[in-house]
Structure formats: C-alpha cells, structure tokens
C-alpha cells in the first residue's frame, strides 16, 4: 500500500482539526452532527487524494475543467437556456448566488495564468489564452467584487513569484506601481457598490463586538448565525440613529472567514490559521507548479476576506485540493521521518461523506415536500423531519424553511415550539415577528411585545415589526407608544414598493387620524 510522508502542514491541520472538533463537541451540547463530520471528512478525503497524486498538474487541470463546466452553465443561464439557481440573479452557475461563482472563477483564472507562465503545458498557448479570456468573461458576468479582488491578488502573486528582476530600482518601481494600482482598484470596487460595502462594514463592526465578548476561545463553532442578530439588535438599540440602519439585513455570514474564526474560535483559532498560512509560504518547495498552487491559494484567501467560501461546498473542496497539491521542502523537522497508511482513512472519509450527503439530500427533499400540493406528501415529510431533529438543527437554512411552514400550517402549540427552537439557531426579524404572532394568539401579550421589539431592533429599516407593535399598542389602548411607533413606521423608507407596504402605511395614518380626532373630541367636551 502507498504511504504518504507527513509534513508540517499535516501536523498543523491535525492540531487545528482536534481543537475545532473539541470546540464543536462542547458547543453543541455533546451532540454528534453527521453533516459537520461529513463536511470535514470530504475535506480530508480531497486533501489526502491530492497529497497522493504524484503529477500535481493533474489537480490543476481538474480544477480548470470544473471551471469550464461552471462557465458553460453560466453562459447557458445568461442566454436563458438554463434557469438560474437564484431568482434575483441571471447568472449563478451551480452556486446559490453570483458571489461564490466569482470566487471560483477568480481562482481558476489565476491557475490558468500560472500554467501559462510555467511554459509546461500539453495544450497550445493560444488555446490556454482562449480559456483565460473565456473565464474572464464569466467573471464579468458574475459581477462579484470579491471575485475581482481575488483575481487581482492571485495574479499579482504569480507575477511576483515568476518574475525575476535584476535591476533593484526597477523592481522597486514596479512594486510601488503595483501597490498603487491595487489601492486604486480596491477604492473603485468600494464605490462600485457602496451601500453593499457599507453594509458589510456594519457586519464586521458587530462581529468585532462578538469577538470582544469571548476573545480567547470564541463563542463556539457554528454559533455565528445563532448569535449575530442579537448583537446587531443590541448595536441598534444603543445606536438609535446609526447611519447603518438603512443597510441592515438578516445575516448568517460575516463575509470574512477570519472574522468568523475569531467569533467562533477566538484568538486561539486565528493563531492556528495564521500558523498554517505562514507554513505554506515558508516551507513550500521551489517547484514551478507550487507557484501556481500558491497563486490559487492567495486568490481563494483574498476571496475569503470578503465572502464565505468555506460555507460553499465546491469552494471548500477547492481549498482542500490547493492545500493538498502543494509540495513541501524535504526534511522539514522530524515529521518527514513518519509515514501513514492513507487508504483506510480515504475509505472512512468516503463512507462518511456519502452518508452525510445522502442524509442531507433526503432532509432537503422532505423540506421541499412540505410545500407540495399533495396532503399525503406533506404528512410524510412532516413525519420524516420529526425523526431528524438533530440533523435539522445543524442545517439552519432548512430549519428556517420548516419554521415558516410551521407558522403557516401547523397548530399554534406545535408551531410555537418549532419557532422557539429556530430562534435559538437562526434568529431573524421575520422569525421573531412570527413568534410574536403566535404568542399574541395565545394571549401572552408581554412575550409578543418582546418579540416585536427585538424584531424591530434587529432591522430598524423594516416596516413590518413596527406595524405589528403599532397594532399591539392599539389593542392595548396605549396611545403614547402607539403614536410614537406609528410615526416611526410612517417615516420608514420602503425599499421595494408593494401593495402590502402601502396598505400598512395607509392603515397607520387612518388609525392615528382617528385617535387624534377622538382626543380632540374629548378635549372639546371637557
């Protein structure tokens, strides 16, 4: 059986995995989550396979092939031959939105440029250049700012690694020019979609507050989406006239993987990641293909500072392939003395990955069946989901769909339990509005009021929580609070004009007018 030499990266990844495993185990109340195990098993599987492949260029061509598949799908979506995955975007590839597509194309563009610079390619240079131009076109279709930045930094890394200058002054001039160009590019990218960029600065601001509350070991792996919205609500409660109010939204990603690690794993997790990155740059061999891998790695690393690649399966696997494909210098400490049998690890990881993927597919399929027209299918789906509560809790996006269904279709008592469970795992302004409605239906007015207030603080720019508070105060005959929240609702800007929003504002105006008329009438009578 083939054995694999261990290096410093293997050692660091093992230590980090053990640390992360303990963190996840204790965070999730000692429950073993098959989906999380399957995710890491798939990463380890791709990593070991990449380490075992002797011809490292094959991995690079495999990544390019996947990029070509994504590019063809994107073109078909643009020409309306295929439907997009997201209803708001024409081009997404196989991803949920254009952002991850841009990140993947950025890494593949960097790899293509790297293969071109190696001058070791089994296809003609003109064909490789054609693929390069095609991938750049797909990147433009994706319209991903993070993808643009990742491509720029990846290509800049390749230029630095491959270019050998002899005149020091010329090197300095080129370095300064490249630095200034990158600064100007970043500034232009910021102003290209300024509101979106400012919205992410809010997320990063709140994320830093989260890190400050648990700086050493973090809040626990997988807890960002559990706690972020509560911190955002606290932020707006303490900053009632913040410039970020108009930009706030329901958030499940920090749009920066380093911040996520800081929030969930603290300073210890960040140190581990920095050590891994440092070891990659310090101990990588000088072989030309390694330079290509480093360029792709820098591209993905740059993308991770502005997006969420490690929550996207294909980008997660891309990272494992790039790490596994890097060849290290020989005789790194004493680790090169040791070898391990990898075949049994591959088999175990493959089994866990297939099992986790199968269970996830079945769960997702049954969640979709909840909205089937067939009553029988809905009953079967409900029964299946009831049996998979632990798995459901580890997939927040599916739990959110199930919570919405329970609010619309299930009895109030059962819906209340599901909504309360969902609020601890994936809280949102909409979910707390639904939870408040259920409490209100059960005559638990104080709890309903708490839910509506929390929903309003989470997203001060949303009309619905204010309207629900308005109705509650009106029913309680609390004129002062009713008038105050009514005025807030009327001053709330509507991002997307709809009949419902216009109807709500009209109703609030009418109610306030009637209330004022009654007050004046009472005053005149007195």
Range with the largest mean pLDDT of 77-81, 240-244, 394-398:
77-81
- What confidence tier does 169 reach under pLDDT thresholds 50, 70, 90? very low
DSSP β-bridge partners for residue 4: 340
Cα distance between the two ends of the chain: 99
Query: Which residues, including other chains, have CB under 8 Å from residue 260's CB and lie 6 or more apart?
Result: 207, 224, 253, 254, 308
pLDDT (tens digit per residue) in 214-231: 999 899 888 899 999 999
pLDDT at 179: 61
Other C-beta atoms closer than 10 Å to the C-beta of 188 total: 11
The reported pLDDT for the residue numbered 413 is 87
Q: Are 150 and 303 in contact (CB under 8 A)?
A: yes
**Residue 241 reports pLDDT greater than 50:** yes
Considering only residues 37 and 267, tell me which one the structure prediction assigns the higher pLDDT. Answer: 267
Say what the pLDDT of residue 344 is.
76
Read off the pLDDT band of 22 (50, 70, 90).
confident
Average pLDDT over residues 361-372: 89
Can you give the pLDDT at residue 159? 82
- The yes-or-no verdict on residue 458 having pLDDT over 90 is yes
Evaluate whether 368 touches 33 at the Cβ level (below 8 Å).
no
Q: What was the pLDDT predicted at 66? A: 94
* 91-104 pLDDT, tens digit each: 999 998 899 999 99
Percentage of the chain surpassing pLDDT 70?
87
Judge whether residue 12 has pLDDT over 90: no
- Mean pLDDT, the chain, integer: 84
**pTM of the predicted model as reported, rounded to 2 decimal places:** 0.89
Q: Are 325 and 17 in contact (CB under 8 A)?
A: no
Give 363-400 as a DSSP string. Answer: HHHHHHHTT-S-HHHHHHHHHHHHHTHHHHHT-HHHHH
Range 419-447 average pLDDT: 93
pLDDT in tens, 44-56: 899 988 988 888 8
pLDDT of residue 437: 94
Cβ–Cβ under 8 Å, residues 504 and 467: yes
Looking at 213-217, 281-285, 374-378, which range is the least confident one?
Answer: 281-285
What percentage of the chain reaches a pLDDT higher than 90?
Answer: 39
Average of pLDDT values for 98-118?
92
Check pLDDT > 70 for residue 247. yes
pLDDT confidence of residue 359:
87
| pLDDT over 80 (residue 330) | no
Q: Which residues pair with 328 in a beta bridge?
A: 284
Question: What pLDDT score does 355 carry?
Answer: 87
Q: To the nearest 10°, the Cα dihedral for 374, 379, 382, 388?
A: -110
Three-state secondary structure along 192-243? Answer: HCHHHHHHHHHHHHHHHHHHHHCCCCCCCCCCHHHHHHHHHHHHHHHCCCCC
Whether residue 259 has pLDDT greater than 60:
yes
Report the pLDDT value the prediction gives residue 30, as an integer from 0 to 100: 46
Closest CA to 444 of 394, 526, 456, 452: 452
Measuring CA to CA, which residue among 252, 240, 242, 241 is closest to residue 207? 252
pLDDT digits (tens, 9 = 90+) for 172-208: 555 555 665 666 666 666 666 777 778 889 999 999 9
456, 476, 502 from 505: Cα distances, Å: 16, 20, 5
What per-residue confidence (pLDDT) applies to 32? 57
DSSP string over 460-472: TT-HHHHHHHHHH
Q: Determine the Cα–Cα distance for residues 422 and 336; give it in Å rounded to an integer.
A: 48
Rg from Cα positions in the chain: 27
Instruction: Give the per-residue pLDDT at 498.
Output: 78
Average pLDDT over residues 401-409: 90
Tell me the C-alpha distance between 142 and 368, whole Å: 27
Question: Which pLDDT score is estimated for 165?
Answer: 43
pLDDT at 436: 95
pLDDT at 526 over 60: no
Q: Is the pLDDT score of 396 beyond 90?
A: no
Question: CA–CA separation, 348 vs 315, rounded Å?
Answer: 22
| pLDDT of amino acid 196 | 74
CA distance 81 to 302: 32
Q: What is the pLDDT of residues 466-502, one digit of tens each?
A: 999 999 999 988 888 898 999 999 988 887 777 888 8
User: What are the φ/ψ torsions at residue 320 (nearest 5 degrees)?
Assistant: -65, -40
Rounded Cα–Cα distance for residues 226 and 230 (Å): 8
Tokens of residue 109, six digits: 């563009």
CA distances from residue 21 to 25, 38, 271 in whole angstroms, order as listed? 6, 13, 16
pLDDT at 426 exceeding the cut of 50: yes
């Amino acid at each position: 059986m083939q054995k694999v030499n261990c290096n410093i990266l293997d050692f660091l990844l093992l230590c980090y995995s053990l640390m992360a495993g303990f963190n996840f185990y204790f965070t999730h109340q000692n429950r073993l989550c098959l989906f999380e195990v399957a995710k890491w098993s798939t990463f380890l599987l791709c990593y070991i396979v990449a380490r075992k492949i002797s011809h490292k260029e094959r991995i690079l061509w495999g990544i390019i092939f996947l990029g070509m598949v994504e590019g063809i799908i994107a073109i078909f979506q643009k020409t309306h031959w295929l439907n997009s995955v997201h209803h708001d975007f024409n081009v997404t590839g196989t991803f949920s939105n254009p952002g991850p597509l841009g990140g993947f194309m950025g890494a593949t563009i960097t790899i293509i440029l790297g293969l071109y610079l190696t001058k070791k390619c089994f296809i003609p240079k003109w064909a490789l250049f054609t693929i390069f131009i095609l991938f750049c076109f797909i990147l433009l279709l994706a319209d991903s700012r993070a993808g643009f930045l990742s491509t720029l930094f990846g290509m800049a890394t390749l230029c630095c690694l491959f270019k050998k200058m002899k005149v020091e002054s010329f090197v300095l001039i080129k370095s300064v020019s490249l630095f200034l160009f990158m600064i100007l590019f970043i500034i232009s990218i910021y102003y290209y979609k300024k509101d979106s960029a400012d919205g992410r600065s809010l997320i990063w601001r709140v994320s830093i507050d989260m890190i400050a509350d648990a700086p050493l070991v973090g809040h626990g792996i997988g807890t960002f989406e559990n706690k972020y919205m509560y911190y955002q609500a606290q932020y707006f409660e303490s900053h009632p006239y913040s410039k970020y109010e108009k930009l706030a939204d329901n958030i499940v990603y920090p749009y920066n993987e380093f911040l996520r690690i800081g929030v969930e794993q603290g300073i210890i997790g960040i140190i581990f990641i920095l050590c891994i990155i440092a070891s990659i740059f310090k101990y990588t061999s000088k072989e030309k293909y390694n330079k290509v891998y480093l360029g792709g790695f820098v591209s993905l690393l740059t993308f991770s500072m502005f997006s969420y690649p490690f929550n996207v399966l294909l980008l997660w696997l891309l990272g494992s392939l790039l790490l596994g494909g890097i060849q290290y210098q020989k005789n790194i400490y004493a680790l090169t003395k040791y070898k391990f049998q990898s075949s049994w690890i591959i088999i175990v990881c493959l089994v866990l990955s297939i099992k986790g993927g199968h269970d996830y597919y079945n769960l997702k399929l049954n969640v979709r069946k909840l909205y089937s027209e067939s009553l029988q299918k809905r009953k079967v789906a409900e029964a299946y989901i009831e049996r998979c509560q632990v798995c459901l809790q580890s997939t927040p996006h599916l739990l959110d769909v199930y919570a919405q269904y329970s609010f619309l279709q299930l009895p109030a008592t059962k819906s209340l339990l599901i909504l309360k469970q969902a609020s601890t795992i994936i809280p949102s302004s909409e979910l707390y509005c639904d939870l408040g409605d259920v409490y209100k239906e059960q005559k638990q007015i104080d709890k309903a009021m708490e839910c509506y207030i929390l929903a309003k603080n989470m997203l001060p720019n949303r009309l619905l929580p204010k309207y629900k508070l308005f109705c509650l105060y009106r029913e309680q005959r609390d004129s002062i609070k009713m008038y105050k929240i009514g005025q807030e609702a009327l001053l709330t800007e509507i991002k997307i004009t709809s009949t419902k929003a216009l109807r709500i504002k009209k109703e609030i105006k009418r109610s306030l007018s009637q209330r004022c008329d009654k007050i004046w009438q009472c005053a005149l009578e007195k």
